[in-house]
Structure 1
Amino acid sequence: MVKSKKRKKSKKKLLIALLLTFLVLAASAAAVSNITITEMSVEGNKHYTKEEIRDILFGTAKERNTLYCFLNQKFGEPKDIPFVDRYDIEFSGLNRVDVIIYEKSVVGYIEYMGSYMYFDRDGIIVESSSKPTAGIPLVTGLDFDRIVLYRELPVKKKEVFDEILTLTQLFTKYDLKVDKVYFDSSLNVVLYIGEIRVRMGSNTLLEGKVAELHDMLPHIQDKGPGTLYLDVYSESAIDRNYVFEKDGN
C-alpha cells in the first residue's frame, strides 16, 4: 500500500516535471520564433547594393526570422543569385547578421541571340542575362560560332582574354567607365566612352595609353562625338598633344 502511494507520487512528480519542461520549451520556441533580423552588414558586393542583397536574402518575414535563417543556413539550399558565386551568413547577435558575398569574376560581356553573356578572365561564360550591367564593358569584334554556358568562349585568338583582363584592370585603376571595347582582326583596340571613340592600337604600352586617356578625357568629353587617336602613343614623345577629331570634320 505504501509502495503504491510512493509510485503514484513519483509518477505525479514526473508528469509535473515533463509538463514544466514542455512549457519551458514551448515558451522558448515562441520567444525565438518572434526574434527577427533587424541589422545587416554586407561585404564583397560590387554588382548589388546592400539593399538589393537584403531584399534577395531576407525579402519575406519568414526569411527575416532568426531561427529560420539559422536553420536554413545550416541545412537548406543557398539561393541562386546571378553574378554571385556563393555567399556566407554569419550571426553576430540574435538580431544581426553579417553577409559575405563572393561574386563571380566578370571582365566583359557579349551579345548573343538576344541575351547578354558574361565571361571571366579566362573567357569562361559564367552568366547569362536579359539586360546589360552597368560597369561591365560590352566586347565586340570577337570571332566565334557558338556559346555554351560555363564553357570557354571559342575564339581563334585566345590571347584576347589577357588583353581584356589587362584593360579592365586599368579601367578600374584609372576610374574609367568604358561602355564598349572593340577588337579588329589584328586585336587592335577601340574604346567607346559615351560619344567618344578612342583608338588604342595594339596591346603595347596599354597602361601609358589608359593613363593618357584618363588625363585627356575631361577636356574632350564636352566637345561632342569624335575620335581620340592614342594608337600613336609613345613614352618618349616630348609633345603629347594627341589628336582629337570631331565627327564631320
Structure 2
Amino acid sequence: MELQRRKKRNLLKLPLLVFFAVVVIGFAVIFGLFHIRTVDVTGNQFYSAEEIQKMVMSDSLAENTIYLTWKYSDPAAAEELPFLSAVEISMIEPWHVQIRVYEKTIAGYLMFSGSRVYFDTDGNVVEISGEEREGVPPVSGISIGQPVVGEALPVADGGFLDDIVANARALHQSGLTPDEIHYDDQQELILYFGESRVLLGDTSYMEEKLEELSAIYPQMEGMSGTLHMENYTPDITSVRFVPGERGEEEQELIINLNRTSQEAETNEAGEPVQNEDGTPQTDTSETSETTAEEGGSGYVEDSSRFSTDANGNEIYTDEAGNTTTNLDQPYLGDDGQIITDGYGYIDPYTGAYILN
C-alpha cells in the first residue's frame, strides 16, 4: 500500500519537473539566444549611434530582443525621449537588432547658465547639456526663464515665441544653415554667414525671403557686408548688399532677384562687379554673339567709365587705360577695350578712323 502511494506521488511530481524544465530552458533561450549583441542605428543626424543606443536601451530588460521589439511597438514609448518623434525596432537575428530613429528637427540652441538649451521647430526644449551638436546654430537675442526638457521655451512674450517657431520652420524648409541666428531689440531676424549678415526684418513674407536668400546666397560666399532684405516684398526685383565687415557699411551693390540667363560678373575677390548706377555687370558674351549673328557690329556700348579733364572735356577710359573724347559712339571690342592705335579708334558701324 505504501509503495503504491509513493508511486502516485512520483507520478504527480513528474509533470511538475517537466514543466519547470521547460520553463528553465525557455528562460535560457529567451535570455541567452535573444540577448542583444549587435545593434545597427539608422536615421540619426544630430545624435551619435552610441548616444541613441544608450538612451533607447536604457531600462534593465532592454538588452533582450523580444522585450525591446515589444516595447517600441507602442508609439508612446518614444515620448520618453524628447529628441525623437518615433523609434522603430527590427529584429535581424535573435541577437541582432536595427534601431531606426526619427529625430525631431533641432532649430538651434540658447545659452542658459552655462548650458546649451536645444529646441526644435515646435519651440520645445529637447536637450539641456554642455554638448555641442554639429550643424546646430546658436541663437542670441532671446531671454528665457528656467528651461525644462519636453516643455516649450520659457519666453515671456507668447507672440515672440510664435515668431521664433515660424521662423525656425521657414529656415529649416529653406535648407540654409547660418553660423548664427540673432534677434535684435525689435525682435527682428538677422542671420550671420561668415563675415556677412542678412537683415530679414519681421515675419512678413519670411518663407519668400528665405527662398530668395537661398537662391542668391552663392553670390555672397567669401564676401563681407550686409544684405538688406528687411523690406522685401514679392514685387521687388533686387536687394541691396552693402560691403563692409559685419555692417561697417561702404559703397553698396545691387543683387538682382529671379535671374534667368545672365549671371553677375565678379572681380578677383569674388565680389560682384557693379555699374555706375549700382547694378551688377552681367556677362555680355551671349549678347555679343547674338548681335554678330544678326549682322550687328559685335561691339558692346559701355557708359560706365566717364570722367572730366582739367578743361571740362568728358573722357571715356577703358580697362586698359585707352581714352577717347568722342563720346557719341564709345565702343569696346570683345576684350572690353576701345579699338584704338593710341591716336584714334575705329567706328565699328562706318569703319571710319576717328582721331582722339
TM-score (norm 2): 0.54
Is the Cα–Cα contact under 8 Å of residues 84 and 101 in structure 1 kept in the other structure? no
Partner of 2:292: none
1:209-248 aligned within 5 A: 209-223=209-223, 225-238=224-237, 240=238, 242-247=240-245
Aligned to 2:17: 19
Q: Percent same amino acid at aligned positions? A: 25
Provide the C-alpha distance between the structure 2 equivalents of 1:60 and 1:188, rounded to a whole number of angstroms: 45
Tell me the CA shift for residue 82 of structure 1. Answer: 6.9
Give the Cα separation in 2 of the matches to 1:53 and 1:123. Answer: 22
Larger gyration radius, structure 1 or structure 2: 2
Q: Which residue of 2 aligns with 1:195?
A: 195
Q: Indicate if the aligned counterparts of 1:87 and 1:99 stay in contact, CA closer than 8 A.
A: no
Residues 43/28 of structure 1: CA separation in 2 closer, same or farther (3 Å cut): same
1:142 and 2:142 are equivalent in the alignment: yes
Aligned residues of 2:123 and 2:164 also touching (Cα < 8 A): no
| Contact map agreement 1:121 1:161 (CA 8 A) in 2 | no
Q: Does the Cα contact within 8 Å between 1:171 and 1:178 map onto a contact in 2? A: no
Write the mapping of 1:1-249 to structure 2, written as runs, cut at 5 A: 1=1, 4-35=2-33, 36-37=35-36, 45-58=44-57, 63-66=62-65, 69=68, 83-84=82-83, 92=91, 94-95=94-95, 97=97, 99=99, 107-119=107-119, 125=125, 127-143=127-143, 146-149=145-148, 150=151, 153-155=154-156, 157-223=157-223, 225-238=224-237, 240=238, 242-247=240-245, 249=250
CA spacing shift, 1:124–1:18, aligned 2, 3 Å = closer
SS of corresponding position for 2:221 = helix
TM-aligned CA distance change 1:152 to 1:167, over 3 Å: closer
The alignment partner of 2:158 has SS state of coil
Deviates more, 1:184-193 or 1:61-70: 61-70
SS at match of 1:242: strand
- The TM-score, its normalising length taken from structure 1, stands at 0.73
Unaligned runs of 5+ in 2: 251-356
How many residues align? The count is 240
Deviation, 1:29, is: 1.9
- SS for the counterpart of 1:243 is strand
Higher relative CO (Cα under 8 Å, sequence separation at least 6) belongs to: 1
2:22 and 2:105 mapped to 1: Cα distance?
A: 49
The letter for the 1-side match of 2:177 is K
Name the one with the larger helix percent.
1
CA distance in 2, matches of 1:208, 1:70: 44
**CA separation in 2, counterparts of 1:203 and 1:61?**
48
Measure the CA separation in 2 of the matches of 1:98 and 1:55: 14
Once the two structures are superposed, residues 175-200 of structure 1 have per-residue CA deviations (whole angstroms, 9 ceiling, x without a partner) of: 11123221222222211133331111
CA contact (8 A) 1:109 1:119 kept: yes
- Distance in 2 (alpha carbons) for counterparts of 1:212 and 1:70: 45
Q: Which one is further off, 49-58 or 195-204? A: 49-58
CA distance in structure 1 between the aligned counterparts of 2:6 and 2:69, rounded to whole angstroms? 43
C-alpha contact 2:194 2:222 (8 A) present in aligned 1: no
CA distance in 2 between counterparts of 1:83 and 1:197 reads 32
Q: Deviations over 1:55-89 (max 9, x none)?
A: 44448997533367579889xxx899874368667
Structure 1 unaligned regions, length at least 5: none
**Cα distance in 2 between the residues matched to 1:126 and 1:56:** 13
